[in-house]
Structure 1
Amino acid sequence: MKIMYLTTELIIGFFLLFIIVKFVGKKIINQITPFTFIASIVMGELLGNAVYDHQIGTFYVIYSITLWGSLLFIVEYLGQKYLMFRGIFEGKPSALIKNGIVDREELKKNRMNINQLQSLLRQSETFSIREVAFCYLEANGSISVLKKTKYQKTTQEDFNMPAKPVYVPVTLIRDGKVLWDELKDLNFDEFWLKTQLTSQDISDYKNVFLAEWLEGDGLFVQKK
């Protein structure tokens, strides 16, 4: 009976969470704001406690998760509809560096010190504050950095070079298995694939760990 009880509640909880994530949106997965971060934790706790507490019936599992999901949906709806609610629930980015100057007051407001700021900058491939023109602390705790002009990466436009088309790499073989749908989308066939592999001294798909096609760069193959 305990196994059947647990199985029933897990199945119900699984599909309820699936439905809620579909309705509320992907933000709860990425935890874009502090609210969605806390909401996802509470939702997991609600399901976990309900499933393993035998005194709580299936009705209470459905009720608690449905109510919490409804509240999340209402909050998301209000945030999309009204700017006032959006500011309350999602928060606003804080400018930690303005025109190359660290704003100490903003650091204090966000309970941060200079060491933590430098650590976040290094994680964004910025190893000196002197490189930064503006730095914003986003609602989810990450930072957005705009570097000073002389520290910005050069682009084709800087050298007046003509723009080149951009292509997405496509995986054709993964762990010895051919992804036929991907091959078909590229208008290639099995003969073409075998020819490409033979040119790299590979006779069997099973010997390929990864094969990736990129327009203009050809087929990259890594053997097992």
Structure 2
Amino acid sequence: MMDYGRIAVELVIGFFALFSITQLLGKTQITQITPFDFISALVLGELVGNALYDNDIGVVKILFTLGLWGILIFLLETITQKVRKTRGLLEGRPSIVIHKGIINKKELKKSKLDIDQLRHLLRSKGAFSIQEVEYAILETDGTVSVLKKHPYAQPLNEDLNIPFKAVTLPIPVISDGEILKDNLDEFNLSEQWLLNEIKKIGYHNPKDIVFAEWEEGKPIYVMPYSEEDATTN
């Protein structure tokens, strides 16, 4: 029982320590992950996982190890933000793998990328033929950005002479039967206003709605629970 108690304590502490470190490091750990970020995330998880089953490693050592590793990663992130010249060395540089429609074999070889892998990345961006691509840039996170040749590029509203229309952002206001108060407050909307709006279209209780979305200048969009869902709720 003592071992189970020790594991439980170390697991809970390790969980919150990892959560704190990921909050400190910011969203780039996920949204703009580089190979080093991926490895550092694995190491953080391994540090906690290995410590749980090692009786000689206590809570203090776990916190010290996680703290030191987190500080090193944080310092690295800070350096790359403050000193621009270090970004190429520490984060890598984007590579132009297709230049004016011609594949740059030197950059492909340098990036350890073959033609089949490049074609796979291009297809993920909607370019199913290399001849459609004018420029392709391999980003530091392994994705590719594509600029198509003129005949294959999508027309813009400006090209089609479509009249100007203001762009608005759809905002979720109800999710799983719960009113999203933070979203309402952000756009100076009240709960009473929302209740009045859903009443206009026949709903008297937010709990009857699985999802509702508001967009400026448009009627509120409501998706109710299905009859089957309503009976289970």
Letter of the structure 2 residue corresponding to residue 135 of structure 1: A
How far residue 203 of structure 1 moved from its aligned partner, in angstroms, is: 4.3
How far residue 180 of structure 1 moved from its aligned partner, in angstroms, is: 4.1
Kindly tell me: are residues 199 and 94 of structure 1, through their superposed partners in 2, closer, same or farther at Cα, counting changes over 3 Å? Answer: same
Listed as ranges, the matches of 1:28-47 within 5 Å are 28-30=29-31, 32-47=33-48
- Equivalent position of 1:127 in the other structure: 128
Matches of 2:129 and 2:202, distance apart in 1:
48
- Normalization by structure 1: what TM-score? 0.86
How far residue 54 of structure 1 moved from its aligned partner, in angstroms, is: 2.1
How far residue 184 of structure 1 moved from its aligned partner, in angstroms, is: 5.2
| 2:32 is equivalent to residue 20 of structure 1 | no
- Residues matched between the structures, number: 224
- Equivalent position of 2:212 in the other structure: 211
- Equivalent position of 1:100 in the other structure: 101
Listed as ranges, the matches of 1:30-179 within 5 Å are 30=31, 32-179=33-180
Residues 148-187 of structure 1, C-alpha deviations (whole Å, 9 max, x = no match): 2232222222234443222111112212223345445555
The range that moved more, 87-96 or 108-117, is 108-117
Kindly tell me: are residues 215 and 45 of structure 1, through their superposed partners in 2, closer, same or farther at Cα, counting changes over 3 Å? Answer: same
How far residue 190 of structure 1 moved from its aligned partner, in angstroms, is: 5.4
The range that moved more, 68-77 or 135-144, is 68-77
Matches of 2:141 and 2:182, distance apart in 1:
37
Matches of 1:204 and 1:83, distance apart in 2:
54
Matches of 2:84 and 2:177, distance apart in 1:
51
Structure 2 unaligned residues grouped into runs of 5+? 226-233
Matches of 1:29 and 1:139, distance apart in 2:
13
Matches of 1:68 and 1:150, distance apart in 2:
50
How far residue 106 of structure 1 moved from its aligned partner, in angstroms, is: 2.1
Q: What is the aligned-residue identity percentage? A: 43
Letter of the structure 2 residue corresponding to residue 44 of structure 1: G
How far residue 189 of structure 1 moved from its aligned partner, in angstroms, is: 4.9
Letter of the structure 2 residue corresponding to residue 143 of structure 1: V
- Equivalent position of 2:228 in the other structure: none
Structure 1 unaligned residues grouped into runs of 5+? none
| 2:10 is equivalent to residue 9 of structure 1 | yes
Letter of the structure 2 residue corresponding to residue 65 of structure 1: L
How far residue 100 of structure 1 moved from its aligned partner, in angstroms, is: 0.8
- Report the aligned-residue RMSD: 2.4
Letter of the structure 1 residue corresponding to residue 65 of structure 2: S
Kindly tell me: are residues 53 and 111 of structure 1, through their superposed partners in 2, closer, same or farther at Cα, counting changes over 3 Å? Answer: same
Matches of 1:191 and 1:69, distance apart in 2:
45
> Would the aligned equivalents of 1:31 and 1:37 in 2 still touch at CA under 8 Å?
no
> Would the aligned equivalents of 1:135 and 1:145 in 2 still touch at CA under 8 Å?
yes
